[in-house]
Chain A
Protein backbone atom coordinates (compact mmCIF):
# COMPACT_ATOMS: atom_id res chain seq x y z
CA UNK A 1 0.00 0.00 0.00
CA UNK A 2 1.70 3.14 -1.25
CA UNK A 3 1.02 5.95 1.21
CA UNK A 4 2.67 8.65 -0.90
CA UNK A 5 1.99 8.71 -4.62
CA UNK A 6 3.40 10.69 -7.49
CA UNK A 7 1.27 9.68 -10.40
CA UNK A 8 3.22 11.45 -13.12
CA UNK A 9 6.50 9.68 -13.81
CA UNK A 10 7.71 12.48 -16.06
CA UNK A 11 7.03 16.07 -17.05
CA UNK A 12 8.49 18.32 -19.75
CA UNK A 13 8.28 22.10 -19.54
CA UNK A 14 9.67 24.95 -21.59
CA UNK A 15 12.28 27.15 -19.96
CA UNK A 16 10.68 30.15 -18.30
CA UNK A 17 7.30 28.49 -17.85
CA UNK A 18 5.81 27.08 -14.66
CA UNK A 19 6.47 23.49 -13.60
CA UNK A 20 3.84 21.87 -11.38
CA UNK A 21 4.64 18.59 -9.71
CA UNK A 22 1.93 16.77 -7.81
CA UNK A 23 1.86 14.40 -4.87
CA UNK A 24 -1.01 12.61 -3.13
CA UNK A 25 -1.00 10.86 0.21
CA UNK A 26 -3.39 8.54 1.96
CA UNK A 27 -2.40 8.73 5.62
CA UNK A 28 -4.18 11.61 7.38
CA UNK A 29 -1.65 11.36 10.22
CA UNK A 30 1.04 12.89 8.02
CA UNK A 31 1.74 16.42 9.15
CA UNK A 32 5.07 17.33 7.62
CA UNK A 33 5.99 17.20 3.97
CA UNK A 34 9.17 17.76 2.04
CA UNK A 35 10.32 17.91 -1.55
CA UNK A 36 13.69 16.57 -2.58
CA UNK A 37 15.51 16.95 -5.87
CA UNK A 38 17.82 14.27 -7.20
CA UNK A 39 20.41 14.47 -9.94
CA UNK A 40 21.89 11.27 -11.42
CA UNK A 41 24.55 9.59 -9.28
CA UNK A 42 23.87 11.96 -6.39
CA UNK A 43 21.82 11.64 -3.25
CA UNK A 44 18.52 13.52 -2.92
CA UNK A 45 18.92 17.12 -1.80
CA UNK A 46 16.33 18.98 0.25
CA UNK A 47 14.35 21.61 -1.59
CA UNK A 48 11.44 22.86 0.49
CA UNK A 49 9.11 21.70 3.26
CA UNK A 50 5.70 22.47 4.66
CA UNK A 51 3.98 21.76 7.93
CA UNK A 52 0.31 20.80 7.98
CA UNK A 53 -0.53 23.98 9.87
CA UNK A 54 0.20 25.91 6.68
CA UNK A 55 -1.22 25.69 3.20
CA UNK A 56 1.62 27.38 1.38
CA UNK A 57 5.34 27.84 1.74
CA UNK A 58 7.50 29.82 -0.63
CA UNK A 59 11.25 29.92 -1.15
CA UNK A 60 12.44 31.88 -4.14
CA UNK A 61 11.25 30.20 -7.32
CA UNK A 62 9.80 27.26 -5.38
CA UNK A 63 6.38 27.17 -3.74
CA UNK A 64 4.72 24.21 -2.11
CA UNK A 65 0.95 24.11 -1.68
CA UNK A 66 -0.82 21.76 0.71
CA UNK A 67 -4.49 20.82 0.47
CA UNK A 68 -5.19 18.75 3.57
CA UNK A 69 -8.78 17.95 2.75
CA UNK A 70 -7.72 16.50 -0.59
CA UNK A 71 -4.54 14.99 0.85
CA UNK A 72 -2.65 16.61 -1.97
CA UNK A 73 0.44 18.73 -2.28
CA UNK A 74 2.09 20.34 -5.23
CA UNK A 75 5.40 21.97 -5.99
CA UNK A 76 5.46 24.97 -8.29
CA UNK A 77 8.67 26.11 -9.92
CA UNK A 78 8.51 29.51 -11.56
CA UNK A 79 10.26 30.30 -13.80
CA UNK A 80 11.62 26.88 -14.71
CA UNK A 81 15.29 26.69 -15.66
CA UNK A 82 17.26 23.95 -17.45
CA UNK A 83 19.20 23.32 -14.22
CA UNK A 84 15.92 22.29 -12.60
CA UNK A 85 15.91 19.14 -14.73
CA UNK A 86 16.06 16.33 -12.17
CA UNK A 87 13.89 13.76 -10.41
CA UNK A 88 11.68 15.26 -7.72
CA UNK A 89 10.49 13.23 -4.74
CA UNK A 90 7.86 14.22 -2.24
CA UNK A 91 8.10 12.75 1.24
CA UNK A 92 5.78 12.72 4.24
CA UNK A 93 6.16 12.17 7.95
CA UNK A 94 4.22 12.51 11.17
CA UNK A 95 6.08 14.55 13.71
CA UNK A 96 4.51 13.25 16.89
CA UNK A 97 6.33 10.04 17.61
CA UNK A 98 7.80 8.77 14.42
CA UNK A 99 10.58 10.10 12.34
CA UNK A 100 10.77 8.10 9.16
CA UNK A 101 9.89 9.76 5.91
CA UNK A 102 7.79 7.94 3.34
CA UNK A 103 8.79 8.84 -0.19
CA UNK A 104 6.86 8.87 -3.43
CA UNK A 105 8.21 7.22 -6.56
CA UNK A 106 9.40 10.49 -8.08
CA UNK A 107 8.66 12.66 -11.11
CA UNK A 108 11.35 13.28 -13.69
CA UNK A 109 11.25 16.93 -14.75
CA UNK A 110 12.85 18.01 -17.98
CA UNK A 111 13.10 21.72 -18.66
CA UNK A 112 13.62 22.41 -22.33
CA UNK A 113 15.81 25.33 -23.35
Chain B
Protein backbone atom coordinates (compact mmCIF):
# COMPACT_ATOMS: atom_id res chain seq x y z
CA UNK B 1 0.00 0.00 0.00
CA UNK B 2 0.90 3.65 -0.18
CA UNK B 3 1.54 4.01 3.51
CA UNK B 4 1.68 2.12 6.79
CA UNK B 5 -1.81 1.14 7.87
CA UNK B 6 -2.74 0.37 11.47
CA UNK B 7 -5.94 -0.98 12.93
CA UNK B 8 -7.89 -0.41 15.02
CA UNK B 9 -7.25 3.31 15.30
CA UNK B 10 -8.89 3.36 18.73
CA UNK B 11 -9.38 0.56 21.19
CA UNK B 12 -10.93 0.66 24.64
CA UNK B 13 -10.32 -2.40 26.76
CA UNK B 14 -11.29 -3.36 30.27
CA UNK B 15 -8.40 -4.21 32.52
CA UNK B 16 -7.54 -7.86 32.10
CA UNK B 17 -8.72 -8.15 28.50
CA UNK B 18 -6.44 -9.23 25.68
CA UNK B 19 -5.98 -6.92 22.68
CA UNK B 20 -4.44 -7.34 19.24
CA UNK B 21 -3.17 -4.46 17.16
CA UNK B 22 -2.46 -4.87 13.48
CA UNK B 23 0.12 -3.22 11.26
CA UNK B 24 0.21 -3.38 7.49
CA UNK B 25 3.59 -1.98 6.38
CA UNK B 26 4.51 -0.52 3.04
CA UNK B 27 4.74 -3.31 0.51
CA UNK B 28 8.27 -4.62 0.14
CA UNK B 29 9.61 -2.97 3.27
CA UNK B 30 11.99 -5.32 5.00
CA UNK B 31 12.06 -3.75 8.44
CA UNK B 32 9.13 -3.27 10.79
CA UNK B 33 9.17 -1.56 14.17
CA UNK B 34 6.70 -1.17 17.00
CA UNK B 35 6.90 1.86 19.27
CA UNK B 36 4.84 2.85 22.29
CA UNK B 37 4.05 6.51 22.86
CA UNK B 38 2.66 7.53 26.22
CA UNK B 39 0.96 10.89 26.63
CA UNK B 40 3.46 13.73 26.45
CA UNK B 41 6.38 11.43 25.68
CA UNK B 42 8.34 10.48 22.63
CA UNK B 43 7.94 7.11 20.94
CA UNK B 44 9.70 4.32 22.82
CA UNK B 45 11.07 1.30 21.01
CA UNK B 46 9.31 -2.00 21.63
CA UNK B 47 10.47 -4.48 19.01
CA UNK B 48 11.98 -4.87 15.54
CA UNK B 49 11.50 -7.36 12.72
CA UNK B 50 13.62 -7.91 9.66
CA UNK B 51 11.31 -9.81 7.34
CA UNK B 52 9.75 -12.48 9.58
CA UNK B 53 12.61 -12.60 12.05
CA UNK B 54 12.18 -10.74 15.32
CA UNK B 55 15.71 -9.47 15.82
CA UNK B 56 15.13 -7.34 18.89
CA UNK B 57 12.39 -7.46 21.48
CA UNK B 58 14.29 -5.73 24.22
CA UNK B 59 11.76 -2.91 24.53
CA UNK B 60 8.74 -5.07 25.28
CA UNK B 61 7.78 -4.03 28.82
CA UNK B 62 6.68 -7.44 30.06
CA UNK B 63 5.90 -10.96 28.96
CA UNK B 64 2.30 -9.84 28.46
CA UNK B 65 3.47 -8.21 25.24
CA UNK B 66 4.01 -10.36 22.18
CA UNK B 67 4.59 -9.45 18.54
CA UNK B 68 4.72 -11.50 15.40
CA UNK B 69 5.22 -11.09 11.67
CA UNK B 70 4.83 -14.64 10.39
CA UNK B 71 5.06 -13.99 6.65
CA UNK B 72 7.32 -10.97 6.70
CA UNK B 73 4.59 -8.48 5.92
CA UNK B 74 1.65 -7.85 8.28
CA UNK B 75 2.52 -7.71 11.96
CA UNK B 76 0.39 -8.07 15.07
CA UNK B 77 1.18 -6.73 18.52
CA UNK B 78 -0.71 -8.62 21.20
CA UNK B 79 -1.10 -7.47 24.77
CA UNK B 80 -2.46 -10.00 27.23
CA UNK B 81 -4.26 -9.16 30.48
CA UNK B 82 -4.10 -5.43 29.79
CA UNK B 83 -3.27 -3.04 32.62
CA UNK B 84 -3.99 0.67 32.93
CA UNK B 85 -0.32 1.47 32.39
CA UNK B 86 -0.59 -0.08 28.92
CA UNK B 87 -2.73 2.88 27.82
CA UNK B 88 -0.76 4.58 25.06
CA UNK B 89 -0.56 5.05 21.31
CA UNK B 90 1.12 2.11 19.63
CA UNK B 91 2.97 3.15 16.51
CA UNK B 92 4.13 0.86 13.77
CA UNK B 93 6.83 1.92 11.32
CA UNK B 94 8.52 0.27 8.38
CA UNK B 95 11.62 0.94 6.33
CA UNK B 96 12.85 -0.34 3.00
CA UNK B 97 16.01 -1.95 4.27
CA UNK B 98 17.40 -3.45 7.41
CA UNK B 99 20.07 -1.76 9.46
CA UNK B 100 20.54 1.83 10.49
CA UNK B 101 20.43 5.08 8.52
CA UNK B 102 17.02 4.31 7.11
CA UNK B 103 14.04 6.57 7.29
CA UNK B 104 11.12 5.06 9.17
CA UNK B 105 7.64 5.61 7.78
CA UNK B 106 5.09 5.58 10.56
CA UNK B 107 1.46 4.65 10.61
CA UNK B 108 -1.13 6.82 12.34
CA UNK B 109 -1.05 4.61 15.42
CA UNK B 110 -3.51 2.63 17.49
CA UNK B 111 -4.65 4.43 20.63
CA UNK B 112 -5.29 1.96 23.43
CA UNK B 113 -7.22 3.01 26.52
CA UNK B 114 -7.43 0.51 29.35
CA UNK B 115 -10.18 1.19 31.87
Tell me the residues in window 14-43 of chain B with beta carbons closer than 8 Å to chain A beta carbons: 31, 33, 35, 40-43
Range for the number of chain A residues in contact with chain B:
20 to 34
Residue in A31, A99, A103 whose CB lies within 8 Å of B31: A99
Q: Are A45 and B42 in touch, CB under 8 angstroms?
A: no
Max chain A Cβ within 10 angstroms of own Cβ: one of B41, B43, B48, B103 = B43
The distance in angstroms between the C-alpha atoms of A12 and B107, with both chains bound, is: 27
Which B residues are CB-close (under 8 A) to A44? Answer: 43, 91, 106
Range for the number of chain B residues in contact with chain A:
20 to 34
Q: How many A-B residue pairs have CB under 8 A?
A: 65
Max chain B Cβ within 10 angstroms of own Cβ: one of A31, A44, A45, A93 = A44
Q: Are B4 and A43 in touch, CB under 8 angstroms?
A: yes
A-B contact pairs, 29 of them (CB 8 A): A6-B42, A32-B100, A41-B108, A42-B108, A43-B93, A43-B107, A43-B108, A44-B91, A44-B106, A51-B101, A89-B42, A89-B43, A93-B101, A95-B99, A98-B56, A98-B100, A99-B55, A99-B98, A99-B100, A99-B102, A100-B33, A100-B56, A101-B33, A101-B45, A103-B35, A103-B42, A103-B43, A106-B41, A106-B42
Known: A98-B56, A99-B100. 13 other contacts (CB 8 A): A4-B42, A6-B42, A43-B91, A43-B107, A43-B108, A43-B109, A45-B106, A89-B42, A93-B101, A95-B101, A97-B100, A100-B45, A105-B42
